[in-house]
Structure 1
């Protein structure tokens, strides 16, 4: 099974009296993996890196994880 970066990580549905009233796709897997990587990058607390550099690094880590997962599951 391949990991698609656009697949949703946490889709949800809200029901009231057995009727669907709302649904959400949640984050994509890429967004979720990037957010998790961002936590680690910010926890390092390296001075002077900047928000843009951290964001770019987090997305690069997310993409690397997705690529690695797909290579290992072929």
Structure 2
């Protein structure tokens, strides 16, 4: 899950969980969290939520509950 990344780690998105609400899934896709995109965790807030992720050359802030909906795999 994307929410498990440490700062500086990169992963490739596999997809969004089937249990993810449709409106959240559409929102994540519109932000660039689509299968095949490479994501890097840039930093976290002092209380570890939310976190900043870099995807498609821009930074996006996601709450842990949103990032937990995104499946990812190591970048080769």
- The structure whose residues are more often helix, as a share, is 1
Q: Answer 1 or 2: higher relative contact order, Cα 8 Å, separation at least 6.
A: 2
TM range (shorter): under 0.3
Normalised by the length of structure 2, the TM-score is 0.23
- The structure whose residues are more often strand, as a share, is 2
